[in-house]
Every structure is written in C-alpha cells, then in structure tokens.
A and B are shown apart, each in its own frame.
Chain A
C-alpha cells in the first residue's frame, strides 16, 4: 500500500509536468489553430537560461524568474517573426515550421551548452515525508502543488480579467475580435508568451530530476501530445485530467506489469490512444467539431 501511494504521488508530479506542457499546447492551439511541436524544446531552452543565470551566481529563485520573463519574450517574438507568416495558411506547413523551430532551439542549446547532462539545482528540498504510511518525496508533492496553483492563476486570468477576455475573443474569432478594436497581433503574441511561460515553469521544475540535456523534454512532449489527444484539443481541463491519469497509470504499469516495465511504459498512453481513437475520436472530454464549408 505504501508503494502504491508513493507511485501515485510521483505519478501525479510527472503528470503535472505533462499537464503544463499539454496546457501550453492547447493554449497555442486555441489561439492560432496549430500544434507547437517546439513547446518542449522552448521549455528546455528556458531551463538552460535558468541554469546559465545560476552559473552567474544568482540565487535559484531569481534565476527562474529571469528565465520565465525571457521565455515570455521569446515566445512572443517567435509568434511575431516566425509563426505569424504561416498562421492563416496551410496548418501542415505551420507544423513543419514548429518542427524546424524545435530542431533549431535544440541545436542552439547543444551549441551553447553541449550534449552532456548538466545537474540542475532543485527548488524544493530532497527530503521526504510520511503520508498514510507511505514515504513521499517533498519534491513530487511540491511540483504537483506548484503546477496546480499556476493552473488556477491561469484560469483566473482567462475568466476574470479583461486581458483574458480579449485572449478568448481572439481565439474564438480573430476577425470579429479585430473588428471590435482588439489588437489581435499583440494578443496572439501574449498567448504564445503565456504558453512559453508555462513550458518554462515545467522545464525548471523537471530539470533537477531529468538533468539538463537538449533533448530532455522530447519524451515529455510526446506524453503531453498524448494527453492532448486523450483530453481533446478543445478542453484544457480534459488535458489536465488526461495528463495526470497518464502520469499515474504509466508509473503503476511500470511497476506492477513486469512485461512492460520502465523501458516500455511510454507505450501505455499510446495503446490507450489507439483504443480511444477507434471508440471515441473526439477525445474523452472534447467536443466534436463540425466544420461548415
């Protein structure tokens, strides 16, 4: 029972990382209708920026804040100068652009910091506490709680502020939003900046555990995409639920199903996807999108 609780909490912690990335992907998709395959790569760049700031002698928390601010700017600039040109065009071309961006960002990290694993200091103490007889690491708990808090803040931003209303308007209908006098271009930049911020937080939270490499989040990106498919592109809550479920499920399966084990646990969400795509193609929580021609 102790192991079980431990596995569930650890699963929720990794699941929350996937959830943050998945939310960033949904945020971008809602605003611009494309999937940003570079979301993970950009998050890795943010983690490297935090690492570089720490190397300069700054305290960790300040380094993370600097990385988050820079990530916001980077996301906004990427939207303005790279994605804008392909936004209203063929979505497949735009996807290839984000893949090019992923390659470019990964390459930049590799040139600047190399391919060797770098240790990243943890924001949270590495001790553990006992809950219901199970030993649970403080880091897992704190990671999950941090991500939940950020999601609540984001939800408030979207539902309770004028900026959030404007962002939703642009996502819903860019043309009408422009007619009502909203600066659509700038709001899209803010949307991409927010997504990059979310990714940055996920990046710095997971970096101590995975250690920094340019491809650190490639696997996490795949999990996040799985969560996006399972939760449905139209449903942020669905994505968070799906991401947490994937995190917990893969941990349990890795330990309790020896046939799959730790090396093949990444196949779990995709086996799930195959079943769900056949049975319920719009995702667990998504709406069926009917396009009128």
Chain B
C-alpha cells in the first residue's frame, strides 16, 4: 500500500491520472443518462460556490455566512444580461464583476472589525437580499423570479441540452478550480494562511490582515458570481428563494463537511450540497434541516478535516494498528513515507497544514 502511495506521488503518474480524469469527464456526459448529467452539472455549480467560500473561510479563516447572496447576484445579472441580448462572454464577466464589486464593498466595511464581525455582517446579506430581490422587480421579476434560456445546445454540435450544459459547467468549473489551486499555493495562499493562523504575526511579516481579508472575500464573491452564472446555465431560472438564508447555511455546512481548506473538499462539498438534501427529501422533507445540523456537528466533532480527510484518517488508524502488531513493518514503512514527503512537499501540503494549524492555535490561545 505504501509502495502504491509512493508511486501515486510521482509527477508523471499524477499527470497521467489528471489526463485520465479529464478524458473521463469529457466522455462521461455522452454515455450517461440526462438525469445523471443534470446532477453532475448541479454539483459543478455548487462546487464553485463552495470553492469560493473555502478561499475566504477555509484558507483565510473568516466566517462568511453570505456566500449564497453572491451566487444569487451572479444569477440575476446573468438573467438580466441574457434577456437584454448581451454577448454571453460579456454576461459571464458582468456576473463575476458585479458580485466582486459588491463583495469588495461589503468586505471593506466588515473587515474593519476584527474577528467575528465578518460573520455578523454577512449573515445579513441573504436576509436583506431576499426582500431586495422582491423589491427590484424590474430587474429581478419580483417574487415570481426570472428565467433566461441560453444554454440550449447549438445545432452544429449534435449534442443534447444536458450534455451542452455539462460542458459549459465543466469548462468554467475546471478553470475556477485550477485558478483557486494556483492561488492558494502561491504568495497569496501563504498570506491567507498567515492571517488565518495569527493576524499579529502576519502583520509583523508585512502582510496587512485587513487587505488580505478584503482580497480573500472579494475573490470568494467573484467565485460566487461565477457559480451564479453556472446556476442559471443549469437551471435557467432564478427567484428570491435562490438566495435564502437556509441555502447560505447549507453552503457553509457543505464546505465544512467537504473539507475546510481543501480544493478537493470543495468538490465533495458540492456533491454533499446536491445529494444529501435529495436523499433526505426522499425520506421525509421535515428531516432535511435536522439531518444537516446533526451531520455538521458530527463532522466538527469526529472529522474536523471534513470528508476529504477520510483517507488520511484511515491511513493513520491502520498504521497505528499495524505498528501495534509488528514494529519491524513500521520501521521499514516509516522512512519511505518521510522521504516522499520531503521530496514532494508541495504536492499535498494543504490538508495537513489545516489540521496542524488548528492544533497550533489551540495551544497558543490556551492560558
């Protein structure tokens, strides 16, 4: 198993695996039934929103309860643009830009207060957003909502609508994930992590906590806007219900359950957001909220790294029991693991960092 893990970390294996995943993703919609494609499309839509939330919350440590507001904003801008016959690229840019600018303004004010003020201000966004969307009916269609069709498959492609939508979501979501991956591994990612761990230390290293928080929040809003564009591409309709408070909480739950501070966790979060309510709704609609709350608390207690940390936790548990049985096996397995970590530190630093980070703050804050 360790040999397999070591092989999996080799660069050419990773490239091969990535290429394989890309081929599967490109071929899959042609083979799958329409319902499966639609489900995958919805996962992609929410994965982008969760990814944005992860940048501000998982990586920068600022609790954001208003991400759904930016998704709704992006969706409304998209609907407005499409219905006024704008070029579709312009619509996409506008959806991201409007959400980004509003996010910037909110963050400029909210980040002024340290600590939990961002959470306290952003909780108001969906609660103000719903009546606002109802009021601005000339843009939003009021309570009835607004629909816009722009993702019917063109004739030359020979595709069905659901396949065409899949490719649109795939392109945008893949771009978003690659961008986010580069972002959190580069200079800004390190700034985010520094601010999350200790603002005073970050400031002493020349990183302005205020600016970093505003930047992270703005980027999260832009991802929210992009997710809103995709939402409209997939659902072709939006109403004030899209940006309700409950959905905002669900998005946050999805991020934590998928894995805070993890790119792959965002994808799992998107899957959670789509699958679990479908499942509980099928059993009993009244159970949706209670199961979500119980799951969220269970994950926080038992699996602070989220679903994405399951393989790591399993590996740790198996290694511990293995060590109990025979010390010889551990001594041979140990160095292999260490060297592979030393040679390839950049490959999987993120989830490990997140876990250690929380422990560190606990120690520092202790009396």
Contact = CB atoms under 8 A, between A and B. Distances in A.
Given A100-B297, A108-B290, A278 B109 contact: yes
25 contacts: A34-B116, A37-B123, A86-B300, A88-B366, A91-B116, A92-B61, A92-B62, A93-B304, A95-B63, A100-B293, A104-B290, A104-B293, A106-B289, A107-B287, A107-B292, A111-B286, A111-B290, A215-B245, A229-B113, A229-B121, A264-B135, A270-B128, A273-B109, A277-B109, A293-B201
A103 B358 contact: no
A225 B288 CA distance: 26
Interface string A12-52: 00000000000000000000001101000000000000000
A226 interface: yes
Interface centre among A35, A92, A97, A277 (most CB of B within 10 A): A92
B134 interface: yes
Contacts of B290: 103-104, 107-108, 110-111
Interface residues of B, number: 54
Interface in B300-342: 300-301, 304
Contacts of A226: 120, 124
A104 B294 CA distance: 6
Nearest to B304: A93
A24 to B, nearest CB: 14
Interface in B268-307: 286-294, 296-297, 300-301, 304
7 interchain residue pairs of minimum CB distance: A107-B290, A104-B293, A103-B293, A107-B289, A175-B367, A100-B296, A100-B297
Nearest to B298: A100
A82 B297 CA distance: 9
Interface string B118-158: 01110110011001101100000000000000000000000
A277 B293 contact: no
B57 interface: yes
B253 interface: yes
B365 interface: yes
Given A82-B297, A89-B361, A225-B123, 5 more contacts: A34-B116, A89-B362, A215-B245, A222-B127, A226-B120
A91 B290 CA distance: 24
Interface centre among A107, A110, A115, A291 (most CB of B within 10 A): A107
Contacts, number: 147
Interface of B: 57, 61-63, 65, 108-110, 112-117, 119-121, 123-124, 127-128, 131-132, 134-135, 198, 200-201, 245-246, 249, 252-253, 256, 286-294, 296-297, 300-301, 304, 358, 361-362, 365-367
A110 B120 contact: no
Interface centre among A103, A106, A222, A291 (most CB of B within 10 A): A103
Given A90-B358, A270-B121, A95 B132 contact: no
Contacts of B62: 92
Interface in A127-174: 174
Nearest to A274: B109
Nearest to B359: A89
Interface in A41-95: 82, 85-86, 88-93, 95
Interface centre among B256, B300, B301 (most CB of A within 10 A): B300
A264 B366 CA distance: 44
B296 A35 contact: no
Given A100-B297, A103-B293, A92 B57 contact: yes
A180 to B, nearest CB: 13
Contacts of B108: 278
A73 to B, nearest CB: 19
A123 B110 CA distance: 39
A277 B127 contact: no
A105 B358 contact: no
A281 interface: yes
A103 B257 CA distance: 14
B155 to A, nearest CB: 45
Contacts of A93: 300, 304, 358
A267 B116 contact: no
Interface of A: 34-35, 37, 82, 85-86, 88-93, 95-97, 99-108, 110-111, 114-115, 174-175, 214-215, 218-219, 221-222, 225-226, 228-229, 263-264, 266-267, 270, 273-274, 277-278, 281-282, 289, 291, 293
A84 B199 CA distance: 24
Contacts of B292: 103, 107
A96 B296 contact: yes
B291 A107 contact: yes
Contacts of A228: 120
B113 A88 contact: no
Contacts of A88: 362, 365-367
A60 to B, nearest CB: 27
Interface centre among A96, A108, A218 (most CB of B within 10 A): A96
B120 A263 contact: no
Given A226-B124, A273-B121, A104 B297 contact: yes
Contacts of A225: 120, 123-124
A103 B245 CA distance: 11
B322 to A, nearest CB: 29
B362 A106 contact: no
Contact of B249 (A99, A229, A264): A99
Nearest to B297: A100
A184 B205 CA distance: 37
A14 B163 CA distance: 52
Contacts of A107: 287-294
A175 to B, nearest CB: 4
Nearest to A289: B114
Given A105-B293, A110-B290, A175-B367, A90 B112 contact: no
Contact of B120 (A35, A100, A289): A35
